[in-house]
Amino acid sequence: MMRESIALDPLRRRWARRVGAVLLGLAVWTAAAPSMGRDAAEPPRDIQGWIARLHEATRNRAYSGTYVVTRGSEIASARIAHVCDGRQQIERIEALSGPARVTWRRDDEVMTLMPERQWAVRDRRELLRLFPGPLKVPGIDVADFYRAELRGSERLAGFDAWVVEFLPKDALRYGYRIWSEKRTGLALKLQTLDGSAQVLEQVAFTELQIDAPLRLDVLARQMEDTRGYHIERPTLRKTTLEAEGWRLRAEVPGFRPVTCWQRVEESNRPRSPLQCVFSDGLASVSLFFPAGDGTSVNQVRAGATHMLSRRVAGQLVVALGEVPPQTLERFLGVLERSR
């Protein structure tokens, strides 16, 4: 089960994160959007301004469209419908390639339906709050680790967009190139860049309708219609790395703990699966502590996502994130048992 979780969550996040988190996750912040007047077309002057613009883009706004994810020779597509009324957001994402899968999200409640198996997994996951991350990670100023540079403007999917790059100031994180629609701020395309500015992965809308005629109550009723499905509802307990007997003996520069959950199981296993997430305000790293005593130690890469596993104090630990592999090495190198 843990191996499946490790395999599925990164893909789900990648579908969700890219395009400046327009896709699954950006609209979890619910403050009222500013009016979009003539000044909205002016590009921000610094990275904090750009992050705020990306966050504000989906509030009080409905949109629908089709987007494509490209990772090397792999191409996948999905259809999204998103509604936010300034207080609550609901979105539906349907995979158009690969296994049939529909992912619903209502604020932090996530439900994934697998029609071929008539199976659904439903839980609340703060763990999906990813790029461009929360507006503020305590103790972190994004400007200390990234800078923004405007690269001009282009027309994409029928919209005029500013092109901006978020450039890292060290080798522990990747850069991003973003196409932000001039009127609303919606991210139309996002590329993840390595240290040589090579594209590791990209997400782009091929078709988009902004201010689509979608109703939140209609999507809510559709989300609740799970007739014929077996619903799995994992029980999660919020905790901390330290409370579970672990600590980082040294800081990984720029990364702070965001959230940590342990799956509560009824089995007689000596440990329950644990996942702790760290963020620098843009990128994130997850540390997974599987329940079993697995022996697999490996390194896997899929686009910009790296996964590295190592045995620490007798426990298999998996580090995963959209960061360079040396960042995961740093996390696993400073992780230790505290009791």
**Is residue 161 classed as helix, strand or coil in its secondary structure?**
strand
Distances (CA, A) of 335 to 116, 296, 315: 40, 18, 11
Peptide bond into 132 cis (omega under 30): yes
State how far the Cα of 321 lies from the Cα of 327, in Å rounded to an integer. 9
Which of 146, 134, 133 has its CA nearest to residue 172? 146
**222 phi/psi in degrees, rounded to 5:** -65, -40
- Is residue 87 within 8 A of residue 98, CB to CB? The reply is no
Q: Is the C-alpha dihedral spanning 282, 34, 149, 189 positive or negative?
A: positive
Q: What is the pLDDT along the chain (339 residues), one digit of tens a residue?
A: 333 333 334 333 433 333 333 344 333 322 223 333 334 568 999 999 998 898 888 777 899 999 999 988 889 999 999 998 878 889 999 999 999 999 999 988 889 999 999 999 987 665 444 455 555 667 788 999 999 999 999 999 999 999 999 999 999 999 999 999 999 999 999 999 999 999 999 999 999 999 999 999 999 999 999 999 999 988 888 999 999 999 999 999 999 998 899 988 655 566 788 999 999 989 999 999 988 766 566 788 888 999 999 999 989 999 999 999 999 999 999 999 998
State how far the Cα of 29 lies from the Cα of 85, in Å rounded to an integer. 11
